[in-house]
Amino acid sequence: MVTTFQTEERRAAALINDALEELGYGRREFDMRAIPFAGVWGTSASVSYQIATELVTAEAAAELEGLSKKEAKRRTQELVRQRAQAIAEQVAERLRAADGFASVEAVNGYINIGFDTNRFSNEVVHAVLTTGEDYGRGEPKTDRVMVEYSQPNTHKAFHVGHLRNVCLGNALSRIMKFAGFDVLQANYIGDIGLHVIKTLWCYQRFHQGEEPPRAQRGRWLGEIYTEADQRLNYRQDVVDLLNDLARNDATFREAVDRMMKELWREHKVGEDVAYLLGQIANAREIKTDAFYDDETIKKFWPIVGKQLTTSLEAVRENPPQPAAEGEPQPFTAADYEERLERWRRLGEHLDWWPHVPEWQREVRQTFQLWEKKDPAFVQLWEETKAWSMEEFHRIYDQLDVHFDVWFYESEVEEPGRQIVQELLERGIAEISDGLPVVKIDEKLGLEKETYRTLPILRSDGTTLYSTKDLALTKMKFEQYHVDRSIWVVDVRQSLYFQQIFKIMELWGFEQAEKCYHLSYETVMLPTGAMSSRSGNVVLYEDIAARVLQRAREIIDEKNPSLPDEVKDRIANDVGLGSMKYGMLMRDNNRVLVFDIEEALSFEGHAAPYIQYAHARACRILEKVDQIPTEGLTFTDLTTEEINLIQQVAIFPSEVERAAAEYKPLVIANYVYELAKRFNDFYRACPVLQAEEPQRSARLALVAAARQTLANGLGLLGIAAPETM
Residue ranges of domains in the chain: 4-115, 540-715
pLDDT of residue 35: 80
As a whole number of angstroms, the distance between CA 86 and CA 84 comes to 5
Highest mean pLDDT among 32-36, 183-187, 319-323, 335-339: 183-187
CA atoms 290, 292, 298, 299: torsion sign: negative
CB 456 within 8 A of CB 466: yes
Burial class (CB in 10 A: 0-12, 13-18, 19+), 140: exposed
- Cα dist. 53→23, 26, 58, 659 in Å? 17, 15, 9, 29
As a whole number of angstroms, the distance between CA 437 and CA 449 comes to 16
CB 253 within 8 A of CB 307: no
- Cα dist. 705→167, 451, 620, 647, 688 in Å? 24, 48, 12, 9, 16
Residue 271 has pLDDT above 90, yes or no: no
pLDDT of residue 98: 82
Nearest alpha carbon to residue 414 among 375, 458, 463: 463
| Listed range (44-53, 348-357, 385-394, 594-603) with the worst mean pLDDT | 594-603
Residue 368 has pLDDT above 70, yes or no: yes
What is the tally of helices (H) and strands (E) in the chain?
27, 14
Report angle CA 382, 385, 391 to the nearest 5 degrees.
145
Residue 3 has pLDDT above 70, yes or no: no
Model confidence at 355, pLDDT cuts 50, 70, 90, reads very high
Backbone angles phi, psi at 32, to 5 degrees: -110, 135
Q: Are strands 110-115 and 592-593 parallel, antiparallel or unpaired?
A: unpaired
pLDDT of residue 273: 87
Strand, helix or coil for residue 24? coil
Strand, helix or coil for residue 583? helix
Average pLDDT rounded to a whole number, residues 671-678:
98
DSSP string, 58-71: HH-HHHHTT--HHH
CB 679 within 8 A of CB 614: no
Superfamily name with CATH number, domain 4-115: Arginyl tRNA synthetase N-terminal domain (3.30.1360.70)
As a whole number of angstroms, the distance between CA 481 and CA 643 comes to 44
Peptide bond into 693 cis (omega under 30): yes
| Listed range (270-274, 420-424, 485-489) with the worst mean pLDDT | 270-274
| Listed range (58-67, 384-393, 437-446) with the worst mean pLDDT | 58-67
The number of CA neighbours under 13 Å toward the Cβ of 382 is 8
528 forms beta bridges with 525
The single-letter DSSP state of residue 74 is H
172 compared with 117, residue with greater pLDDT: 172
Angle between helices 4-22 and 47-59 (to 10 degrees): 30
Percentage above 90 pLDDT, the chain: 74
CATH 1.10.730.10 fits 540-715, yes or no: yes
CB 184 within 8 A of CB 357: no
pLDDT tens string 36-49: 676 667 899 999 99
Average pLDDT rounded to a whole number, residues 401-420:
97
String of b and e for 78-101 (b: at least 16 CB within 10 Å)?
ebbbebbbebbebbbebbeeeeeb
Burial class (CB in 10 A: 0-12, 13-18, 19+), 304: buried
| Listed range (65-74, 204-213, 214-223, 292-301) with the worst mean pLDDT | 65-74
| Listed range (180-189, 210-219, 350-359, 581-590) with the worst mean pLDDT | 210-219
CB 270 within 8 A of CB 300: no
Sheet of 430-432: strand order equals 430-432, 435-439, 453-455
Average pLDDT rounded to a whole number, residues 125-150:
96
pLDDT of residue 192: 94
In one-letter notation, the amino acid at residue 530 is M
CB 576 within 8 A of CB 545: no
As a whole number of angstroms, the distance between CA 283 and CA 299 comes to 20
DSSP string, 353-404: GGGHHHHHHHHHHHHHHHHTT-HHHHHHHHHHHHHHHHHHHHHHHHHT---S
Count of CB atoms within 10 A of residue 44's CB? 21
As a whole number of angstroms, the distance between CA 646 and CA 653 comes to 12
Backbone angles phi, psi at 475, to 5 degrees: -65, -40
- Cα dist. 572→430, 554, 579, 666 in Å? 55, 12, 11, 25
String of b and e for 496-508 (b: at least 16 CB within 10 Å)?
ebbbbbbbbbbbe
In one-letter notation, the amino acid at residue 585 is M
Residue 535 has pLDDT above 60, yes or no: no
What is the length of the chain? 724
pLDDT of residue 528: 63
533 compared with 96, residue with greater pLDDT: 96
Model confidence at 259, pLDDT cuts 50, 70, 90, reads confident
Nearest alpha carbon to residue 672 among 576, 623, 604, 615: 604
Q: What is the 3-state secondary structure (H, E, C) of 563-578?
A: CHHHHHHHHHHHHHHH
Model confidence at 360, pLDDT cuts 50, 70, 90, reads very high
CA atoms 672, 674, 680, 685: torsion sign: negative
Average pLDDT rounded to a whole number, residues 253-268:
83
Model confidence at 427, pLDDT cuts 50, 70, 90, reads very high
pLDDT of residue 60: 76
Model confidence at 529, pLDDT cuts 50, 70, 90, reads low
Backbone angles phi, psi at 539, to 5 degrees: -75, 145
Residue 531 has pLDDT above 60, yes or no: no
CB 428 within 8 A of CB 503: yes
| Listed range (153-167, 406-420, 516-530, 677-691) with the worst mean pLDDT | 516-530
pLDDT of residue 291: 86
The number of CA neighbours under 13 Å toward the Cβ of 418 is 9
Model confidence at 577, pLDDT cuts 50, 70, 90, reads very high
pLDDT tens string 632-643: 888 889 999 999
Residue 122 has pLDDT above 60, yes or no: yes
Model confidence at 2, pLDDT cuts 50, 70, 90, reads low
CB 588 within 8 A of CB 662: no
| Listed range (373-382, 441-450, 529-538) with the worst mean pLDDT | 529-538
pLDDT of residue 189: 98
pLDDT of residue 350: 95
Q: What is the mean pLDDT of the chain?
A: 92
Model confidence at 258, pLDDT cuts 50, 70, 90, reads confident
Q: What is the 3-state secondary structure (H, E, C) of 640-666?
A: HHHHHHHHHHCHHHHHHHHHHHCCCHH
As a whole number of angstroms, the distance between CA 62 and CA 652 comes to 47
